[in-house]
Structure 1
Amino acid sequence: MSEQVVDVVIIGGSMAGSCLARNLKLKIPKLKITVLEKKKNFDHGIGESMLEVFWDYASRDLGLSKYLEANYFYKHGLRFFFEKEGKNTPVSEMSEMGRTWYHAIPAHQINRAQFDEDMVKLNEQIGIDTERGVSVSHIDVGEGEELHRVVTANGDVYRCRWMVDASGLSSVFAQKFRDVEKLDAHPVSSAWMRVKNMRDLDELGDSAWRERVRFTNRSLSTNHFMYRGYWVWMIPLDAQTVSIGVVWHHEKSQVSIKNQKELEAFLLSHTWGKELFGHDYQIVDFGALKNMARVSKTIFSTQRWFRTGMAAGFIDPLFSSGSAWLTDLNRMISDIIQTDIEGDQQQVARKVAGYDVYAHWWFNNFLFHITGNYHGNYDLHKVLFRALLMDYFGIVMPAGVGEYWKNFSNLDSESLEKLKTIFHDDLRSGGAAYAHKIKDELAEFLDKTGDSLSNNIGNFHDVEIPGVYMKNSMNRGIGLDDNAIKEMRFSIEMESIIAASKVVAEHKKTKLSENDIAVIEEKYKMGEINNLEDAIKAARLDREIEFF
């Protein structure tokens, strides 16, 4: 047994913890940082598909741009496949949604076991101590200026000024503070495995199918196979290995997978699964998580303890939000610690309170997007996914890279309480929430057609976001203010209602003219359109359509 005094103890040494340790050391070189990791060897876990904001973080804050380019695949976007309920459609006949162009802002597919192992070595080179095979038995929070105590299972004691929980869903702080809420509104579980020697997705289909994605590559995308109540991911890790797994909603599907054999059989029950697994596949390992969705009540504390990554909250692997979540949390934690070192305790308190409000808004915003996407419907996804991309690239990402969250440190407690109310209302009304409302109205229309999944076969949608909606991200959040956010939210609403109107027209074997679209835009701006039925009437499609 021993006792050490350090500046920062980070409990958990996988991606969130190791990145935070590196972030802090590069930002404040004098800090003495110890990372305590319970695993002797890192394994394969959820979180291989990175979002663009993580590349910005890894490149600018962590000095890892060359490392990423040298070791991991460039991600060719998110790609979605749809079919009907029979699960008997060849992949080349499934409806597909994905981009045909390279993105201006990079992102990568990460082999997590490799990344986590490499980060330990890279961090050691700059003076960060990572202790492997060390479990934390309990923590004591220091009162006032007293140091915290972190006690390991073998009796070693670490005393520190700042303490961070990056230990994942098994969260050490959750056991201490009992303040983690499981999200009953989104009851999901997941099972996954790594598989070698699967067939290459781009080798299937005929030449026209292979060529329609132009300069992109399906096998380098984060692929999603979407169904009612569940979805399957497939992510490339290296030239021979893919990560493949399923996430299921307990109330919307009958899926329940307990072991590797059940997962293998489930995937092979789909025609595309038989095609991609082929005859030479080799399963490397298996993992699973039950009831994943949860969030911590407190993420940043004035008592100098913080949470990051899955220890702070987790929703669902859908849309790969985990890397963006840890990016913003780590940047905010680093900023709070820097302010604490500078001795401005009043500003530390403001940042803790403000950043906590921002973090919970961020989490609830993504939660809202994800919970509405277990419909397995190609037409509905066209409407929702565009809204998600506009929200992410127009608001969430530029707010992160532009450090919009720093504005929250200037607000007093009364203003923050008002902001919470505004956020609560906004998440349930305008912007992306409006897109979900339109999606629900479109779903009602499609149900009346008698075959709501008719377009799940044989269609292709090129996901393209006009430059005007990318400008906030391309400008790294410069100029992002309340007005810019309101403008983007309005654009999300208008684009969603136009996209849904186009779907209605397609199902009635007609097409919106440019004039129809202009009329919908004008009437929406004037407040004369409040729902999808109003838009259909504005375009005079109601002459042919019995809507509701």
Structure 2
Amino acid sequence: MNNQYDVAILGGGLAGLTLAMQLKQEEPTIRIVVLEMRKTEAPDSAHKVGESTVELGTYYLREVLGLKDYLDEYQLPKIGLRFYFSPQVKEKIDQRVELGAKETLPVPSHQIDRGIFENELTKRLLDMGVEVVLGARIKDVNLDHQEGHTVTYSKAGETHQITCNWVSDATGRAGLLKRKLGFEKPLEHNINAVWFRVKGEIDVTDWSDNEAWQNTLPSGLRRLGTIHFMGKGYWVWLIPLVSGNTSVGIVADPRFHDFATFNKLDKAMNWLAENEPLCAEKLEPYRDGVIDFRALKHYSHNSGRFYSTEKWGVVGEAGAFLDPFYSPGTDFISIGNTWMSDLILRDFRGEDVASRAIIYERVHSAFFNSWVPIYNQQYELFGNTQVMLVKILWDWGVYWAIPTLLFTNKGYINLEVLRALFTNRNSLGIRLGKLNVQMQQFFRAWNQCSDEAFVNTFIDFFEVPFLKKLHLDLEKQHSVENLIAQCEENLNILEQMAAEIYRKVSAKEKGTPKDMKINPYQFSLELTNEALLEQATQKGAIDTTASISNDLEMVWLNEKLPV
């Protein structure tokens, strides 16, 4: 075995393996070693987060890494995220308001069995000439970007030492470099999670004998979505795996659900019986087939560093992770690996990357922090059907309009794009962050004044025309100039979406005019009607187009639970 490398990747999970593949595909001569603590192949249905991908992460796996054919043949397609609201009728799934796709989406995503997938990645890396060392326990990392970093590890009782130009920490929550260098960073968002795998396929369509409801979708389509059962302070997931097993998870805010009430398997089943009784009833026959169980307190975590000018960085969960609600794990890996690999490859080819490392770290930190308001203090809304329906569509709109579009067009490693969108006080990135914070605050205020029980409704986001367009546009490739212009156009759509949501809710809850102009960056339900009417006459107040207004009519619910 060689002991001199260009890159040492500490950790052979999804983040580390995909980073190695990205580097080796772009630069076949680069020398890479992956040091993984696991001694043997990962088991099928490996107990890891990141089974469910969404558009950004899927693009990375399919297009950047070239794994499209493998994913189509050996992993399951994912028919989007599927949500069941109406906690007032938890025992009757066919009466719950359902949000999800009615057919396969044109921009794909996948349900990934992590064990099978990581074993495949390892085999491919070995074929490409990457050294993957299993059973390697990291003992020490001595960082010296001038003379070369030194990594000491043990394997089978023997100590080994290697030197390298770059170190990438992909050790997951162990956060080796984070602990060594002390750049842990507190994160206000606090949730707890448990998850387990059961043997066998679970299709929620079978949970009702209502044929009309069953036939709303083609056979098997519901099973292939990432199922979310929603209630105040929590959500429960069901994720199908290609191995024929099913992943089950509970994620809850401790303000509403004490972790001690579901942090063991028996407790989790009792918790489900109380909070999602139909789910508990349908899972009971699978109880003897539980494969594993894991509990994780304070799921989310932040990082004070991502990329250093001294040729090291952190990727995946070794850096920061926020919340699993929208399946963003592979997204964070994809973006982090893209920045990390760009720095390593440019340096390998002789470029000074110090300024890029500084820029990438600042943008990464800002990107992560801009997503915190989507989740922080928002679990209290999860039992409010109308508010959550609109919030989810807003969050999707933001995700497709800017972050994912930038990724599919290589915007995150283009300094011209980054400067245009993120470097001044009124840049698009700053405005988007302010707009999103304003909306998330609004959702909390709306939740306080309205919590009606709606039932018996199916909504397909793909039937909302402007959201469908944002989704389809992810496949378009733009020049730098056109990409910046498209982001500005999409932000304008989001501003109108926000203004129309504000207007509709204000008219209902406060009696303000239905045609009142709205400043989407300043609106608040806590303002008096007089203040809102005054605001409508000032700079920044906008009308919305008839198309946006008409599109959003589709997501306002009408059928209420009979009293």
Please indicate, yes or no, whether the TM-score normalized by the shorter chain is above 0.5: yes
Aligned to 1:8: 7
Task: Please list the CA deviations of residues 125-144 of structure 1 after superposition, one character each: whole Å capped at 9, or x if unmatched.
Answer: 11111111211111000142
Map residues 171-210 of structure 1 onto 2, 5 A cutoff: 171-183=175-187, 185-197=188-200, 199-205=202-208, 206-210=210-214
Q: Partner residue of 2:333?
A: 326
Secondary structure of 1:364's aligned partner = helix
Q: Percent identity at matched positions? A: 25
Deviates more, 1:278-287 or 1:330-339: 278-287
1:82-122 Cα offsets, whole Å, 9 max, x none, are 2336x852222222211223222111000111111221112
Q: Select which of 283, 300, 310 maps to 2:317.
A: 310
Match of 2:554 in 1: none
Unaligned runs of 5+ in 2: 537-542, 545-563
Q: Residue 552 of structure 2 aligns with which residue?
A: none
1:134 aligns with 2:136: yes
Cα distance in 2 for partners of 1:372, 1:365 equals 14
Which one of the candidate residues 505, 511, 530 is aligned to 2:523? 530
CA shift, 1:477, in A, is 5.2
**Residues in 1 aligned to 2:283 and 2:442: alpha-carbon distance in whole angstroms:** 38
Q: C-alpha deviations, 1:297-323, integer Å up to 9, x for none?
A: 111111111111111111111101111
Match of 2:226 in 1: 222
**Which of 235, 250, 253 is residue 249 of structure 1 equivalent to?**
253
Question: Does the CA-based 8 Å contact 1:472-1:480 persist in structure 2?
Answer: no
User: CA 1:103/1:471 → structure 2, altered by over 3 Å: closer, same or farther?
Assistant: closer
Q: Identify the residue that residue 63 of structure 1 maps to in structure 2.
A: 66
1:91 aligns with 2:87: no
In the alignment, the residues of structure 1 paired with residue 59 and residue 228 of structure 2 have an alpha-carbon distance, to the nearest angstrom, of 24
* Counterpart code for 2:228: H
Q: 1:442 and 2:446 equivalent?
A: yes
Shift of 1:223: 0.8
Aligned to 2:456: 458
Shift of 1:379: 0.8
RMSD: 3.2
Equivalent residues in 2 for 1:349-360, closer than 5 Å: 349-360=354-365
Give the Cα separation in 2 of the matches to 1:418 and 1:351.
14
Distance of 1:252 and 1:7 partners within structure 2: 49
Name the residue aligned to 2:114.
112
TM-score by length of 2: 0.83
Gaps of 5+ in 1: 447-451, 540-548
- State yes or no: 1:385 paired with 2:392: yes
Q: Return the alpha-carbon distance in structure 2 between the equivalents of residues 463 and 196 of structure 1.
A: 32
Letter in structure 2 aligned against 1:249: D
CA distance, structure 2, for counterparts of residue 113 and residue 528 of structure 1: 45
Counterpart secondary structure, 2:459? strand
Distance change >3 Å, CA 143–CA 54, structure 1 → 2:
closer
- What corresponds to 1:34 in structure 2? 33
The DSSP-based 3-state class of the residue aligned with 2:122 is helix
1:295 CA displacement: 1.7
Of the three residues 49, 58, 61, the one matched with 1:46 is 49
CA distance in 1, matches of 2:56, 2:273: 35
Contact kept? 2:51, 2:112, Cα under 8 Å: yes
5 Å matches for 1:285-434? 285-345=292-352, 348-371=353-376, 373-374=378-379, 375-376=381-382, 377-408=384-415, 419=424, 426=431, 429-430=434-435, 432-434=436-438
The amino acid across from 1:474 in the alignment is E
**Superposition TM-score, scaled by structure 1 size:** 0.85
Q: 1:68 to 1:103 in 2, by over 3 A?
A: same
- State whether residues 107 and 472 of structure 2, in contact with CA within 8 Å, keep that contact through their aligned partners in structure 1: no
SS of the aligned residue for 1:298 comes to coil
Q: Tell me which amino acid in the other structure corresponds to 1:340.
A: D
What displacement does 1:502 show? 4.9
SS of the residue aligned with 1:279?
Answer: helix
